[in-house]
A = this chain, B = another copy of it.
Amino acid sequence: MRQDQLIFDEGRPGRRARGQAPSEPVDTGDLPAESLRTTPPILPEVSELQVVRHYTRLSQKNFSIDTQFYPLGSCTMKYNPRAGNALAMLPGFLDRHPWAATAQSQGYLACVHELQDMLRDVTGLAGVSLTPMAGAQGEFAGVAMIRAYHRARGDHGRTEILVPDAAHGTNPATAVMCGYKVRELPTDGEGDVDLQALREAVGPRTAGIMLTNPSTLGVFERRIRQMADIVHEAGGLLYYDGANLNAILGKSRPGDMGFDVIHINLHKTFSTPHGGGGPGAGAIGASERLLPYLPIPMAGRDENGYRWLTEVDCPHSIGRLSAFMGNAGVILRAYVYARMLGAEGMVRVAEFATLNANYLMTRLRAEGFQVWFPQRRASHEFIISLKREAKELNVTAMDVAKRLLDYGYHAPTAYFPLLVPECLLIEPTETETREELDGFIAALVAIRQEARRDPELVRSAPHDLPVRRLDEVRAARELDLCWTPD
């Protein structure tokens, strides 16, 4: 009955949380009048309790790992250990200034250095930099490194990056940000990249290829070694988009597959929280030949202890990607996670993520859902297509996704990859129980039943959430992006 307002609407002129700001009135000192603001910014005027209540209530309107099964394909929504949060937020870490002297940074640097080494070892690369702040920035760094490599060799004719059609949108977008043209590669009927097409596409213009393996189609690229040979023989390099590393962590190493540079989404495989959209961390690993180009700073170690490696140590680096050291607090969380797993735990991640995915896929197929690559193993995720349901019942993948919300499950990724019609990309992760998977299967079966009996119920879902289906067209057409006092 009680509608939640905007925090602005809850304000009243002159109200504020008085314990939070200095009690002295403002003295602008020697600041010249013309440099000063003349009207105060429009910000909420609310009490401390109002703030706490408002945002506590807002939070309750979210689905999250801590409250729901969240099988969002490609996103690896697994449990984010609470210890990571507690330990990264110890006062000693929170109060550490990024420019603090080396002697006052040994505790933090030790974590960075050890995580660099662990990630290097589990991916089979030669070195790792933790500075990129998300997967896409990792991709940027990686492709920029490829570019720097060709440039350093005077190899200026390489202007293209190859990207499979199933690739995540960040791949082509990144290639363009690095000044490349994108050339798409088709997928064959079994979900692998079309090898013939690859052979035809490579050449002296090929700077490199960006691959996700297992791919975003949920299957392992079986001819990866041949692909690596083809690209390398043509003088190109291989970029590994590590968004799906969870599927093979410790079971198969990108370095062994022939990749020259990779990124790892620490906010996926290493279980740092997604935070409703970030922050993440896109650690980047390089083979021997790309090592000199890794972004700075990195943690190094010499006889005096740990220290930062900067421009001085890494003159060929592609440079800095952030003012300081990337998302340091995220790195600490990933470090805690990695330390709790150890080598054995990392392997288990892949094993149980894969077990859960294959179980779910097998059971859904048995229930009559169309698994898109039925002849393939699922990696840590797989695709079902609701093409048939869409045609017969006029109920789309989106409708089913929305109805799942009513059942208390977050929807899988819908309509990605783009090449599969009416698809749901389902990734259960290793931290979910079998019972949770069974419940999800039961919900999908029940919804299909509903779609047969009462399709409108499904088409107009969700029904039990804070809002019903939103008018996205209006949102984009009648742009309302900012509150203003009326």
Contact = CB atoms under 8 A, between A and B. Distances in A.
Interface of A: 1-2, 10, 12, 15, 19, 47-50, 52-53, 56-57, 60, 65-68, 78-79, 81-83, 90-91, 340, 406-408, 431-433, 435, 439, 464
3 nearest interchain CB pairs?
A2-B408, A49-B79, A56-B66
Given A10-B433, A15-B433, A49-B432, 11 more contacts: A1-B406, A2-B439, A12-B433, A19-B81, A47-B431, A49-B79, A50-B433, A52-B79, A52-B82, A60-B67, A91-B91
Contacts of A12: 433, 435
A408 B1 contact: yes
A81 B2 CA distance: 24
A288 to B, nearest CB: 36
Contact of A10 (B81, B91, B408, B435): B435
B1 A49 contact: no
B464 A1 contact: yes
A14 B52 CA distance: 40
Contacts of A91: 90-91
A53 B67 contact: yes
Contacts of A49: 65, 78-79, 431-432
A47 B82 CA distance: 13
16 contacts: A1-B464, A2-B408, A2-B439, A10-B435, A12-B433, A19-B83, A47-B431, A47-B433, A48-B81, A49-B432, A53-B66, A53-B67, A56-B67, A60-B60, A60-B67, A91-B91
A419 B36 CA distance: 63
Contacts of A47: 79, 431, 433
A388 to B, nearest CB: 25
Nearest to A431: B49
A474 to B, nearest CB: 28
A1 B60 CA distance: 17
B340 A19 contact: yes
Contacts of A431: 47, 49
Contacts of A48: 79, 81
Contacts of A57: 67
Contacts of A406: 1
A133 to B, nearest CB: 26
Contacts of A435: 10, 12
